[in-house]
Structure 1
Amino acid sequence: MSIAARVSTPAGDAECAEERASATPGPTHTPRTLAAAGDLLRALAAPVRIAIVLQLLEDARCVHDLVDALGVTQPLISQHLRVLKAAGVVEGERRGREVLYSLVDDHLAHIVVDAVAHVEEDA
């Protein structure tokens, strides 16, 4: 007797199983793609990095602008910007002695905005 035959399932579970069986399968992704997506989400996971992304969504900023807006130290902002830059979230453009940081694209900002909005809905 198979394991499935030995396990009894409530009617609701059987209905869900039938729906899953008749549904079209979702797209499959390579392990490399899933790992890269996980790395990207980890890069966005720190509260200061979320705040940086929200600031950069409004406009490009220099480090000192982010320090003033977020009330954290310059070394901490620089450290978080390095993580975001390595993950491909932000890019920097040198302007004289300063580097102006901006978002690479809006896709990632939408993830952050949606996450913040979701949390605020539940609050």
Structure 2
Amino acid sequence: MVAEPEGVFTSEAVDAVTAVLQALALPLRLRIVLDILDREATAADLADRLDVGYGTLAQHLRHLRLAGLVHRRRAGSHVRYVAAPSTAVLVRAILTQVAPEAGSGAPISGARPRH
């Protein structure tokens, strides 16, 4: 019997990582996560800030929730969304590696500038 080398991941771990990367692979989903890294928002807030239809936004929020990247919290009659703490760490680490200029003092935001 051959022992697995140290650092080899199980197929379940690889599947979990793949699901997270797929959830973040679409620009709109990444912008959603960036928008709620440090603040909660309703779907209506996000739709307005990201200039996207509510139905489209709801579909993407569902994918992010299923991947464990976003949590929702009921506040009275509203549902508020926030990035999971581990998501904030992950996204900031990716941005630091891939786009170091994003950490140059400018706030990271998913919202598009309005002209």
For the criterion TM > 0.5, the same-fold answer is yes
Structure 2 length normalisation: TM-score? 0.72
Identity, in percent, stands at: 34
SS state of the match for residue 74, structure 2? strand
Q: Which runs of 5+ in 2 are unaligned?
A: 103-115
Structure 1 length normalisation: TM-score? 0.68
Distance 1:57 1:87, change over 3 A: same
How do 1:1-123 and structure 2 match up within 5 A? 27-105=7-85, 106-111=88-93, 113-114=95-96, 117=99
Larger Rg: 1
Question: How many residues are treated as equivalent by the alignment?
Answer: 96
In 2, distance between residues paired with 1:119 and 1:54?
15
**How far is the alpha carbon of 1:109 from its aligned partner?**
2.6
The question of whether the paired residues in 2 share the 8 Å contact of 1:93 and 1:100 is answered with: yes
In 2, distance between residues paired with 1:56 and 1:109?
12
**How far is the alpha carbon of 1:107 from its aligned partner?**
2.6
Higher RCO by CA contacts (8 Å cutoff, separation 6 or greater): 2
Distance 1:64 1:87, change over 3 A: same
Given residue 88 of structure 1, which amino acid in structure 2 is its aligned partner? Answer: G
